[in-house]
Chains A and B, each alone.
Chain A
Amino acid sequence: MTDGIRVAALDDVPEGEGIAIDKAIIGTEDNVALLRDTDGGLWALNDTCTHEDASLADGWVEDGYVECPLHSSKFCLKNGEVQGLPATRDTCPHRVEVRDGEVYLFPNQTP
């Protein structure tokens, strides 16, 4: 696991958007949202919003946060901290690395 799990090519994740990685592939409790910020940074959070059953991979990514597509709860891309109601609980961040255009995920490791 020291090298991480290759989960996508960087080009699979458009800027300002996200894609969901199936938990069955990476052995996590929840699917993981790979999210690409508007400055190009790549981040990974648990995919399900802590407020209601919505996929953060379908959310709006901008300026260091992702906004849930259902009720606009915001989560910090870096650490998963909730930044606004209606969600009240943080979500889990995961470490990602990009090597040669490939995205490697380190499940449950702090970024």
Chain B
Amino acid sequence: MNVVIVGGGIAGVSTAAALRAGGFDGDLTLVDAGEFPYDRPPLSKDYLTGAKDLGRIALQPPQWYDEQAVRLINRTRVTGLRPGGVELQDGTLLPADRVVLATGGGAARPPIPGCERAHVLRTAEDADRLRAVLRPGARVLVVGAGLIGAEVASSAVDLGCEVVLADPVARPLAAAVGAELAAWLHERHAVRGITTVQAGVESFEDGAVLAGGREEFDAVVLGVGMVPETALAEAAGLRVDRRIVVNTGQVTSNPAILAVGDSARSRDGHWEAAQHDGARAAATILGAPPPPPAAPWFWTDRHGRHVEAVGHMAQADRTVLRGSFADPAFSVFGLRDGLVVAAAAVDDPNAVRAARRMIDRRIPADPARLGDPAVNLRTLLRP
């Protein structure tokens, strides 16, 4: 059997890895537009600040592709899905019994005058262009204070920039980490000297028009969301509803074509969710049982603090604080009907690791013990 994976992000590479780990012994090809598949979370952090170069953020070392018998076709785009294969931009037709679309997404650019000149951050090339203007003293406007925007703002301050961070939402990430922690996280920007503005941007012409009027900036960065890349799928007649429509096995409306990652997911999720998509796609191709579902998890690093969240905080009907917001490390648990449904933590990652097991295994938790920092959370996992 021939499998061709289109796209070398975490979803595509995870599909390849899971296929081989599951015993797939057919031909396996990964087509990627870049130099090699790399990890994207560092693009707004260590790669943007120059602490790590592209080689240091490779998703797999170069020899991995040989060791795993994965044929990597780099610096190439797939231009069409054809019966029995995929067509590359030079006209080559790669035979494929199964195609896995891992085409990711592009940065959203809202229809605001001058928006096309703003920086975005999806690729290493985007990060290279942005880094070139994040010089000490540069005045930078970051639009959007979610994960990418907050991380870029943090990195820009690290690089000596004067940063204005604009978002119309008072407490970005509140749905993911809860209102209190979201407010605390957003306040960290001001502590680092960032000016936060609760407003959208009306225009990017001649600087930017914010709530207080027109201001000049050396660079504007947009971190306002992602647009799934579905052009190949649409051209091939697959069902697309903003993202490529897939079933629980990642199969599209064409049984020979699967889709994973940002271009396909119908639910919320980040880096790990893309990895899980790849594992499910591989299981489908192998005819193996799908991996068990797991609560969504993400991390973000900003202003020297490591933040993690798991589950669905918006589902919680009460929260329990473990520690204090003034502590070096603390966490918040979200409960519903006596079960943990979410947790978010600052510099307390094992609280999230405990919580994700409580969620996935539906282990009831005593709120008083959850909230007592003296109680080892591991003991709450035991029957």
Chain A interfacial positions (CB closer than 8 Å to B) = 14-17, 58-60, 67, 69-72, 85-86, 88-89
Contacts and interface: CB of A to CB of B under 8 A. Distances in A.
B192 interface: no
Nearest to A58: B350
B349 A85 contact: no
B349 A69 contact: yes
Interface stretch (B56-64, B236-244, B311-319): B56-64
Contacts of A14: 376
A60 B349 CA distance: 9
Given A60-B353, A89-B61, A70 B306 contact: yes
8 contacts: A16-B378, A58-B350, A60-B350, A60-B353, A60-B354, A85-B14, A88-B59, A88-B61
Contacts of A69: 349-350, 353
Nearest to B379: A16
Contacts of A85: 10, 13-14, 17, 39, 59, 275
A85 to B, nearest CB: 7
**Max chain B CB contacts within 10 Å: which of A59, A67, A88, A89?**
A88
Nearest to A52: B46
Contacts of B350: 58-60, 69
B169 to A, nearest CB: 27
B217 interface: no
Q: Is the interface of A mostly helix, strand, loop or mixed?
A: loop
B64 A70 contact: no
8 closest A-B pairs by beta carbon, nearest first, are: A69-B349, A60-B353, A16-B378, A88-B60, A60-B350, A88-B61, A86-B39, A69-B350
B24 interface: no
A56 B348 CA distance: 14
Contacts of A59: 350
Interface string B331-366: 000000000000000000110011000000000000
B106 to A, nearest CB: 23
Interface in B1-33: 10, 13-14, 17
Contacts of A15: 378
Given A69-B350, A85-B39, 14 more contacts: A14-B376, A60-B353, A69-B353, A70-B299, A70-B306, A70-B349, A71-B41, A72-B297, A85-B13, A85-B17, A88-B58, A88-B59, A88-B60, A88-B61
Contacts of A88: 58-61, 64
B358 to A, nearest CB: 13
A69 B17 CA distance: 23
A24 B354 CA distance: 32
Nearest to A38: B378
A94 B64 CA distance: 25
Contacts of B41: 71, 86
Contact of B299 (A16, A67, A71, A89): A71
A58 B351 CA distance: 12
Contacts of B349: 69-70
Contacts of B299: 70-71
**Max chain A CB contacts within 10 Å: which of B13, B61, B272, B297?**
B272
Nearest to B378: A16
Interface string B317-334: 000000000000000000
A15 B379 CA distance: 10
